[in-house]
Amino acid sequence: MTRSADEFRPAQLQLDKPSTELSIQTTLKLVDYNVLTNPDALFYVQAVKKSASVAFDKPNGAELKAVPVTILQLRDAIIRCKDALSSAGLAVK
């Protein structure tokens, strides 16, 4: 069976075995793997207000919009957070 170009390819997780180059044992390694193999895959959908003045208590979420977030966007957000913490003088490994 062959995979189509847009088919999601899951990582081979081996949490109970010693680390190898093919083994993924941390969340960051999982994100890195998916950036390489599934960068455009949907990670989640974020609900956001259509404008800053709109309250969240509208019926049926009528004043909210859905914003898709990909694996690549997730990784970029992680890097921005890490850089912000470093700039603030907080230790980041």
pLDDT for position 9: 85
- 4 found inside a domain: no
Query: What is the rounded average pLDDT for all residues in the chain?
Result: 78
- Please check whether residue 52 lies inside any domain of the structure: yes
Distance CA 39, CA 83 (A): 21
In a domain, 76, yes or no: no
Residue 88 counted as domain residue: no
In a domain, 46, yes or no: yes
Residue 30 lies in a domain: yes
| Residue 38 counted as domain residue | yes
Q: Is residue 77 part of a domain?
A: no
Note the pLDDT tens digit of each residue in 38-68. 999 999 999 887 765 555 555 554 578 889 9
Confidence of residue 10 (pLDDT cuts 50, 70, 90): confident
Between the CA of residue 29 and those of 14, 22, 45, what are the distances in Å? 12, 10, 22
Report the number of distinct structural domains present in the chain. Answer: 1
What are the tens digits of pLDDT across the range 66-85? 899 999 999 999 999 989 99
Task: Give the pLDDT score at 28.
Answer: 84
Domain span including residue 28: 11-69
Q: What are the b/e assignments for 64-89, b being 16+ CB within 10 Å?
A: eeeeeebbbbbbeeeeeeeeeeeeee
